[in-house]
Amino acid sequence: MDSNAKRAHLAKITARLSGGSTPISSEAPTPANRTPSTPTDRPNHSHTPAHERKHEAKHAPRPHNEHKHETKHPPGSLNERMHTPKLTADAMLSAPSSRQFIGNTETIIAIGASTGGTQALEQVLTQVAANSPGIVIVQHMPEKFTSSFAARLNTRCKIEVREAKNNERILPGVALVAPGGKHMLIKRANNQYIVEVLDGPLVCRHRPSVDVLFRSAAAAAGKNAVGFILTGMGDDGARGMKEMFDMGSTTYAQDHASCVVFGMPKEAIDMKGVSKIIPLSQVAAAINQYGK
């Protein structure tokens, strides 16, 4: 054995006796508890810009059971009125096509009002005579308020005032107020008139709708109906009043000076569906002239 071989052999023996180990090759495999970094590794989001992470989260697919339920607007709320299509009275009943023959029956009074209408109706109804024709009223008002409104008027008026019920007869000396959240229509039963109180979509963004009431008066009573459109915002009632006028009804609009808001009467006047324009102070006398 040459001198180099001897020195190598002695080094191995010395290392073994001293507890050392043979040096590890630089090509030894990676220890099992360390995972090499590869292109398929999970991305490190700490290095991803915030706006990119937000975009990925927004557009990530969701499980089918995580879709949000559609939000429904509370009935009669401003949101329901503003976020639903503006329908006409066609949604509730067909327009009268021609002036049909309607024999002589009792006169009925149909009144529509909105903004400022509660005060206007109080002023009118407290002056209406006890022998007045039957009166039907649509005042834009949320449900549960119309009952107390009618009850309060009933304590102050000579006529009886109450919230209408389905299939109730329209009688002289009685005023029926459409319930909030329901439409009220006039129907003819032989020579008598009754009211139908029905659910339905918003008409002119209202329920009850003056247009629905007036159209039903035009179709059921024709010349035996008298219409009054009082203070209010918007155009609900204008088309229905024109239909009443075309079917032979006498129609009245409150004048500009006495209105809180001249919207509804103005629209009816512009549509040429008004027989007479009068101040609020003359409405009760106009009603009383049709009494017996």
Name the residues annotated as catalytic.
114, 140, 236
Q: Which amino acid is at 219?
A: A
- How many C-beta neighbours within 10 Å does residue 255 have? 17
Residue 134 CB partners (closer than 8 Å, separation 6+): 106, 108, 109, 170, 171, 172, 173, 174, 175, 176, 193
Dihedral of CA atoms 194, 116, 94, 221 in degrees, nearest 10, equals 40
Q: Which amino acid is at 118?
A: T
Is-contact 208 180, C-beta < 8 A? yes
Residue 110 CB partners (closer than 8 Å, separation 6+): 135, 136, 137, 186, 213, 214, 217, 225, 226, 227, 228, 244
Q: Which amino acid is at 195?
A: V
